[in-house]
Amino acid sequence: MLSKNLGLVIVTSLAPILWGTTYLTTTLLLPESRPLLAGVLRALPAGLLLLALARRLPQGSWWWKSWILGMLNIGMFFALLFVAAYRLPGGVAAIVGGIQPLLVALLASRVLHEKLTPRRLVAGATGVFGVALIVLQSQVRLDGLGLAAAVGGTASMAAGTVLAKKWGQPSSRSGQPESALTTTAWQLLAGGISLTLLMLAYEGLPTQPLSVPNMIGYLYLTLMGTALAYFCWFRGLSKLPAGSAAFLGLLSPVVAIVLGWLLVGQSLNLWQILGILVVLVSIVAGISRKGSQHVTSKFRARRQEFSAAQGGRGRRRSDR
């Protein structure tokens, strides 16, 4: 799959690469102790921008599906992400995301019937080992609440990734599937509105005007770290197996730790460099053809039976 869909993999990889810059942006440019405000100003404007481009609202069940996906992938994830980013050193919170490929692989095997191959399990465990090398060699103090928020955010997006893959793309009124741009807009709006209510309840409105660095940071996260990144992510997820796409998320901690070393002088020793190399190897192994069999024969049979029951159209082989 790696060679066959190289272009798609590269474009999808832009999402975790951009997400990896969130922690440094938060540390250097955003106001302190306003994690919910950061989530709102990142998600809501991005959702409105994409909705203006898509010009479509959800229909039927996609009102509540968009809300659930928006909460898992945006609302809960952003809130926990920024709490972790404020309480942990740059890069450490992102590195906790190394467990996401294993979580997605386990959930996808149950919900999507994607085959949980030994190769993928080993690749996932290798990725966790690689990020552990990076974290455990860092000369920093880790905050318990920050770590809990990072783990919770990782679990939330893992669940959202699997559900987004399970529900796929809804059909438009013309019968054609909606674009990834459209469903991304719905999720960002649902998550942004939920975050706004949460912010008003717990943080309140800002009492001080935003500085120029604050506005630059929010603008970057809105346009690049959210609108562009999530569009690339959900577009790739609609075409790649969930278990394979999740391995690309390991690029985020690599980018975060490298940026911390390059731009703010954080330590990067030989063990951490080894950890980065191990993570990169696990990514290649996790998304390669042998490690990415999409669905089991049992699940394919179920899909064929379902198709036959819907108007006698006959059995169809899944091209996924």
Report d(CA 1, CA 266) in Å as an integer. 36
pTM of the model: 0.80
CA atoms within 13 A on the CB side of 320: 21
Cβ atoms 38, 218 nearer than 8 A: yes
Residue 123 has pLDDT above 80, yes or no: yes
- Domains contained in the chain, number: 1
Q: Residue 228: is it exposed, middle or buried by C-beta count within 10 angstroms (0-12/13-18/19+)? A: middle
Q: Which of 131-145, 199-213, 293-307 has the lowest mean pLDDT?
A: 293-307
> 177 — phi, psi (to 5°)?
-65, 140
Report d(CA 292, CA 183) in Å as an integer. 25
Query: In this predicted structure, what is the pLDDT of residue 143?
Result: 77
pLDDT digits (tens, 9 = 90+) for 191-233: 999 999 989 998 888 888 889 999 999 999 999 999 999 999 9
What's the chain's average pLDDT? 82
> Residue 295: pLDDT band by 50, 70, 90 thresholds?
very low
Report how far apart, in Å, the C-alpha atoms of 94 and of each of 124, 160, 228 are.
16, 17, 19
Q: Is residue 311 in some structural domain?
A: no
> Residue 17: pLDDT band by 50, 70, 90 thresholds?
very high
Q: Is residue 310 in some structural domain?
A: no
Residue ranges making up the domain that contains 155: 6-294
In the chain, what is the straight-line distance between the N-terminal and C-terminal CA atoms, in Å? Answer: 11
Q: Is residue 99 in some structural domain?
A: yes
